[in-house]
Amino acid sequence: MSESFTEYDSGYSILAAAYYNLEKLSFTDTTYLHTSIVHSDANNKASNLNTFQNGISSALIMTKDSASLVSEVTAGIESENGTASQSTA
């Protein structure tokens, strides 16, 4: 993070997100599926949040009356050290 306040060109990130209404399940008022994809080309010395170049996340959001439940999965899928599917052997 040594360049986070001293360098103006710290890179860029692109985020794409989509929501899908799963309609009402029998036991909920609302149910949504949220999916997002992020690509980051940030300066490694300007942020501690850029371990991966690409990442995906998905969340299931359910509500019933005044209660809600959010379940999310997030994964980094590529970095300068290789992809998650590559073997190191």
* Average pLDDT for the chain: 77
Bigger pLDDT: 16 vs 13 = 16
pLDDT at 74 over 80: yes
**Could you give the count of Cα atoms lying within 13 Å of 69 in the half-sphere of its Cβ?**
8
Q: Looking at the 3D structure of the chain, how many domains does it have?
A: 1
Bigger pLDDT: 18 vs 78 = 18
**Range 40-58 average pLDDT:** 71
Question: Residue 46 sits in which domain range?
Answer: 11-78
Nearest residue to 60 (alpha-carbon basis) of 50, 70, 51: 70
Bigger pLDDT: 74 vs 3 = 74
pLDDT at 9: 64
pLDDT at 12: 74
Q: Which of 15-19, 25-29, 62-66, 69-73 has the lowest average pLDDT?
A: 25-29
Contact 30, 24 (CB under 8 A): yes
85 within domain boundaries: no
Query: pLDDT grade, residue 87 (50/70/90)?
Result: very low
